[in-house]
């Protein structure tokens, strides 16, 4: 893969080198190199079971990996100091900590730990989401629980925000609100954001960057606009598998078409010459199609 897909950035808020992890002998992450550029909103996308949550937990230093290392705001993920933790907002896929506390008790407790705690934000968000302050966290619905966890992560005014499937349990209105909040935080406070999702349309609204995780490997990592402008689907007629094309990302046979579809990328601003072959056709590709082509 070319340089566009492998950004090398020093001092990135979140970075991983060669992370591998096996569960019961089965590889879940396979030598993953990952960089979240400063100020980026990076959408980590992949099918269920692709390893998204494992990657995020490894980046957050919550699991030991078999190989490789990760850094969070410049410190090793497995040995983060208080300075880093204060600037980090993290929401796991199923937030379940402190379940016996009431919503207001939980926020009162946490506000003491964080110097930049934004109580006005907490109050306005609880109001807007109509969350009952006196209810125990364990008694909330999954969607409510997720909203509380998101409010908690944003109230820290984090420099780095990490969200694992943040929209999964939210209804469409709450989801749109969340996306708006993520987008504006990134744009105005310079917060760097990593969020995982399998809902492509969520990602397309707010992401500046996208990373595809497939079967434990990071297949693509690029600015979203570049990806849309420089990747396309190339239809090639013929039953035999076409020879490998420079800049090819994936390929699969297309019986109904009577040929092959390949995802190709521009090199030096040009499409592969194979696109000029008789019967060949280049087609612009939305992210959803790109995802399907690569992940099938």
Partner 1 sequence: MDASLLTITPGAAEPIYRQIVEQLRRMIAGGQLPPGELLPSVREVAGFHAINPMTVSRAYSLLEGEGLLERLRGTGMAVAQRARRARSEAERMSLLEPRLHDLARAARELELPAGRVLRRLGELLEDGE
Cβ 173 to partner 1, closest distance in Å? 11
Q: Which is nearer to partner 1, 32 or 207 (CB)?
A: 207
Q: CB of residue 44 vs partner 1: minimum separation in angstroms?
A: 16
If the CB atoms of residues 156 and 224 are measured against partner 1, the closer one turns out to be 224
Residues at the interface with partner 1 (CB under 8 A): 39, 41, 176, 179-180, 183-184, 186-188, 200-201, 204-208, 224-225, 228-229, 281, 283-289
Shortest distance (Å) from residue 197 CB to partner 1: 13
Which residue in 41, 52, 46 sits closest to 207, CA to CA?
41
Quick one: 139 or 180, whose CB is closer to partner 1?
Answer: 180
For partner 1, which is the closer residue by CB, 215 or 226? 226
Task: Quote the least distance from Cβ 96 to partner 1, whole Å.
Answer: 28
Residue found under tokens 């990490």 = 162
Tell the smallest beta-carbon distance from residue 292 to partner 1 (Å). 12
Smaller CB distance to partner 1: residue 215 or 289? 289
């Amino acid at each position: 893969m070319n340089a566009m897909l492998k950004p090398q950035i020093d001092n990135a808020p979140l970075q991983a080198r060669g992370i591998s992890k096996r569960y019961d002998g089965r590889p879940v992450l396979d030598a993953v190199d990952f960089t979240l550029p400063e100020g980026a909103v990076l959408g980590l996308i992949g099918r269920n079971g692709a390893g998204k949550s494992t990657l995020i937990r490894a980046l957050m230093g919550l699991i030991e990996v078999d190989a490789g290392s990760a850094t969070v705001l410049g410190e090793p993920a497995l040995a983060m100091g208080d300075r880093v933790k204060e600037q980090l907002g993290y929401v796991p896929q199923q937030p379940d900590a402190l379940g016996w506390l009431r919503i207001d008790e939980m926020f009162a407790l946490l506000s003491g730990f964080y110097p930049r705690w934004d109580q006005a934000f907490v109050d306005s968000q609880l109001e807007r989401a109509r969350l009952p302050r006196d209810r125990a966290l364990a008694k909330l619905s999954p969607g409510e629980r997720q909203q509380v966890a998101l409010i908690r992560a944003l109230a820290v005014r984090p420099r780095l925000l990490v969200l694992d499937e943040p929209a999964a349990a939210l209804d469409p209105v709450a989801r749109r609100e969340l996306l708006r909040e993520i987008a504006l935080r990134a744009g105005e406070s310079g917060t760097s954001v990593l969020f995982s999702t399998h809902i492509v349309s969520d990602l397309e609204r707010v992401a500046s960057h996208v990373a595809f995780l497939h079967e434990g490997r990071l297949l693509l990592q690029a600015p979203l606009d570049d990806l849309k402008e420089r990747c396309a689907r190339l239809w090639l007629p013929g039953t035999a598998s076409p020879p490998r094309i420079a800049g090819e990302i994936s390929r699969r046979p297309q019986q109904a078409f009577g040929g092959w579809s390949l995802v190709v990328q521009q090199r030096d601003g040009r499409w592969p010459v194979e696109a000029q072959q008789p019967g060949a056709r280049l087609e612009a590709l939305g992210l959803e199609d790109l995802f399907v082509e690569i992940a099938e």
